[in-house]
């Protein structure tokens, strides 16, 4: 259920197309995180409650998750070029509307619109690059595409913080306008039209999958805010998610033209790559969600300083992707490259388990660069192998599934680490406080607190206990991410190296 592929011979200006596609990918990837740091300013400006302002993020995530699987069908009836142009224009216009919003209702509606248009940008960009490059250069193509996908979320928080503090939160959305215009003009000038074909839209399948994906994203995004199982809303969302996925699986089994072909998972490379990118999504986005609050809330860093210290992570990713594309083109074993990347990622997380609340900036930068290099070495080989044994005609549909898997992985990772962070902070606080008694070895701390400030001194001591408890909880999460990364390494054995890579390796020998 995909548009006819565009041959690399048909593209007159491949360089312009690559730049335009990278701008498109970067614009969408930035918006997954750039608005997060601006939420407190937006809450005051829009007169919203804590629950209402959370929908600014939730509406975008849910809309994008529901619309992403439809990319393949839309490309088949509209053509990839037309769909990409509409998606870029719609995303840019929706960004302007978000920046102009004066009420929380309008903001949520415009963010919903932004998510719907932005859903197809990443899978379309990926499948376009795969088609316009010859198969032996797919590693280089995925390295270029991955720069936007992986660096965008890393640069989002510092860029959002700088724009909010320098101008206002409105510029978090207005920044998309020049990027969107350049991407639109570039794609219009460089991407040729492709064939379309009329296919019946599977409304029943779409409804089942939309309920499953939408309910799952709501469950993951709002679980921590609503205290998970203590909320009837969360229990209902989980039940709907399970029901939606089950009904779609049954529907797919007996449908001649299903909305999304789950048969693609019969390809071992595609299945294993989806599992691995799910893990990458968990580790990358969960770690990125943990570091800003660790540095700002526990170490007292301002937003701009936090962004500067986290920026080297993106530099490491860029460097790794530049190198890994050439390695794959020369016949390097994608599984070996990815294994090295996972080991480097696990090493950086192991170093982070030794952080304290006075960790030097040099160590933060060092672990960030190391982890950026590791993620870059993992992301490109997996993304290359994922499509290596699939027919060209299904790449757009497969790219939509692949992007959805990565996004769900990020949502699962963030939900898990935040839930564990809250729980472990309370547990650690109770254990530390139990050791602060008038009769133990820490009796001096209580005495000093009472003598210096009375009740205010005890409050200050309690705040420090909470700070230390939170620091330990963060380290527990880093340790969990390390174990998850190591546990995923054996999955690389499921991948089969593409034939062209094996042939190149034989020639090199």
* Residue 467 pLDDT class (50, 70, 90 cuts): confident
User: Per the structure block, which two tokens stand in for 170?
Assistant: 């409105």
Give the separation between CA 354 and CA 477, rounded to whole angstroms: 12
For the segment 484-493, the average pLDDT, to the nearest whole number, is 89
Residue 360 per-residue DSSP state: -
Give the separation between CA 394 and CA 400, rounded to whole angstroms: 10
The pLDDT value recorded for residue 443 is 54
pLDDT in tens, 196-232: 667 777 888 889 989 998 999 889 888 887 888 888 9
The pLDDT value recorded for residue 236 is 94
Give the separation between CA 207 and CA 158, rounded to whole angstroms: 38
For the segment 454-465, the average pLDDT, to the nearest whole number, is 70
Cβ neighbours of 362 (radius 10 Å):
9
Q: Angle 87-89-90 (CA atoms, 0-180°, nearest 5)? A: 65
The pLDDT value recorded for residue 332 is 82
3-state secondary structure of 11: coil
Give the separation between CA 491 and CA 335, rounded to whole angstroms: 10
CB 143 within 8 A of CB 109: no
Q: What percent of the chain has pLDDT over 90?
A: 24
User: Per the structure block, which two tokens stand in for 348?
Assistant: 């950086």
pLDDT in tens, 156-177: 777 887 888 888 888 989 999 9
pTM: 0.80
* Residue 505 pLDDT class (50, 70, 90 cuts): very low
The pLDDT value recorded for residue 185 is 93
* CA distances from residue 487 to 276, 279, 280, 420, 479 in whole angstroms, order as listed: 11, 10, 12, 19, 12
Give the separation between CA 420 and CA 347, rounded to whole angstroms: 22
Cβ neighbours of 122 (radius 10 Å):
28
The pLDDT value recorded for residue 179 is 92
* Residue 357 pLDDT class (50, 70, 90 cuts): confident
pLDDT in tens, 107-141: 999 999 999 998 888 888 888 888 777 777 777 77
Radius of gyration of the chain (CA): 24
Which of 116-130, 213-227, 348-362, 453-467 tops mean pLDDT?
Answer: 348-362
* Residue 5 pLDDT class (50, 70, 90 cuts): low
The pLDDT value recorded for residue 90 is 95
The pLDDT value recorded for residue 509 is 34
CB 150 within 8 A of CB 119: no
pLDDT at 6 over 80: no
pLDDT at 445 over 60: no
Residues 6+ apart with CB under 8 A from 220: 408, 411, 412, 414, 415
Residues 6+ apart with CB under 8 A from 436: 442, 445, 446, 461, 465
Give the separation between CA 146 and CA 151, rounded to whole angstroms: 8
* Residue 48 pLDDT class (50, 70, 90 cuts): confident
The pLDDT value recorded for residue 192 is 81
The pLDDT value recorded for residue 242 is 95
The pLDDT value recorded for residue 30 is 81
User: Which is it for the CA torsion 300, 305, 307, 311, positive or negative?
Assistant: negative
| Listed residue (316, 292, 314) closest to 305, CA to CA | 292
The position carrying tokens 């009329």 is 198
Give the separation between CA 103 and CA 378, rounded to whole angstroms: 42
| Listed residue (433, 505, 503, 438) closest to 466, CA to CA | 433
Give the separation between CA 296 and CA 302, rounded to whole angstroms: 6
User: Which is it for the CA torsion 332, 336, 338, 340, positive or negative?
Assistant: negative
Give the separation between CA 387 and CA 402, rounded to whole angstroms: 10
CB 170 within 8 A of CB 45: no
Give the separation between CA 383 and CA 388, rounded to whole angstroms: 9
Give the separation between CA 334 and CA 97, rounded to whole angstroms: 43
Give the separation between CA 25 and CA 6, rounded to whole angstroms: 19
The pLDDT value recorded for residue 457 is 62
Give the separation between CA 345 and CA 362, rounded to whole angstroms: 18
pLDDT, averaged across the chain? 83
Which of 23-27, 285-289, 435-439 tops mean pLDDT?
Answer: 23-27
The pLDDT value recorded for residue 452 is 65
For the segment 9-15, the average pLDDT, to the nearest whole number, is 63
The pLDDT value recorded for residue 77 is 85
Give the separation between CA 141 and CA 136, rounded to whole angstroms: 10
The pLDDT value recorded for residue 165 is 80
* Residue 504 pLDDT class (50, 70, 90 cuts): very low
For the segment 272-281, the average pLDDT, to the nearest whole number, is 88
Greater model confidence, 217 or 88: 88
Give the separation between CA 433 and CA 193, rounded to whole angstroms: 67
The position carrying tokens 């619309």 is 67
Residue 119 per-residue DSSP state: T
């Amino acid at each position: 259920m995909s548009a006819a592929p565009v041959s690399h011979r048909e593209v007159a200006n491949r360089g312009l197309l690559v730049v335009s596609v990278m701008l498109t990918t970067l614009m969408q990837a930035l918006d997954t995180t750039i608005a997060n740091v601006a939420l407190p300013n937006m809450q005051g400006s829009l007169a919203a409650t804590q629950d209402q302002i959370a929908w600014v993020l939730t509406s975008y995530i849910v809309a994008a998750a529901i619309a992403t699987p439809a990319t393949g069908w839309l490309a088949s009836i509209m053509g990839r070029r037309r769909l990409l142009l509409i998606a870029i224009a719609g995303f840019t216009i929706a960004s302007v509307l978000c920046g102009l919003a004066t009420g929380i209702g309008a903001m949520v509606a415009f963010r919903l619109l932004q998510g719907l248009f932005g859903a197809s940008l990443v899978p379309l960009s990926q499948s376009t690059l795969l088609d316009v490059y010859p198969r032996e250069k797919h590693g280089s193509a995925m390295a270029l595409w991955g720069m936007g996908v992986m660096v965008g979320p890393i640069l989002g928080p510092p860029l959002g913080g700088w724009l909010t503090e320098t101008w206002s939160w409105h510029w978090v959305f207005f920044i998309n306008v020049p990027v969107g215009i350049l991407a639109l003009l570039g794609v219009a000038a460089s991407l040729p039209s492709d064939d379309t074909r009329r296919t019946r839209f599977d409304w029943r399948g779409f409804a089942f999958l939309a309920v499953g994906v939408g309910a799952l994203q709501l469950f993951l995004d709002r679980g921590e805010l609503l205290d998970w199982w203590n909320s009837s809303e969360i229990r209902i969302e989980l039940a709907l998610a399970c029901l939606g996925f089950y009904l779609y699986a049954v529907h797919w089994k007996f449908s001649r033209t299903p909305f999304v072909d789950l048969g693609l998972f019969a390809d071992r490379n595609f299945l294993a790559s989806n599992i691995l990118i799910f893990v990458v999504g968990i580790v990358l986005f969960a770690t990125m969600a943990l570091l800003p609050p660790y540095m700002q809330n526990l170490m007292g860093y301002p937003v701009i300083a936090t962004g500067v210290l986290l920026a080297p992570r993106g530099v490491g990713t860029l460097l790794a992707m530049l190198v890994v594309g050439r390695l794959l083109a020369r016949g390097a074993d994608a599984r070996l490259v990815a294994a090295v990347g996972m080991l480097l990622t696990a090493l950086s997380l192991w170093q982070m388990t030794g952080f304290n609340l006075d960790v030097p900036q040099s160590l933060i930068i060092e672990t960030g660069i190391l982890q950026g290099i590791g993620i870059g070495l993992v992301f490109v080989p997996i993304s290359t192998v994922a499509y290596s044994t699939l027919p060209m005609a299904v790449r757009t549909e497969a790219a939509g599934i692949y992007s959805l898997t990565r996004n769900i992985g990020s949502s699962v990772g963030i939900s898990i680490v935040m839930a564990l962070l809250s729980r472990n902070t309370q547990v650690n606080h109770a254990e530390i406080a139990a050791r602060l008694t008038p009769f133990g070895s820490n009796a001096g701390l209580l005495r000093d607190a009472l003598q210096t400030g009375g009740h205010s001194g005890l409050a200050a001591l309690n705040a420090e206990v909470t700070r230390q408890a939170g620091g330990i909880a963060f380290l527990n999460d880093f340790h969990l991410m390390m174990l998850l990364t190591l546990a995923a390494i054996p999955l690389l054995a499921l991948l089969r190296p593409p034939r062209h890579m094996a042939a190149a390796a034989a020639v090199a020998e």
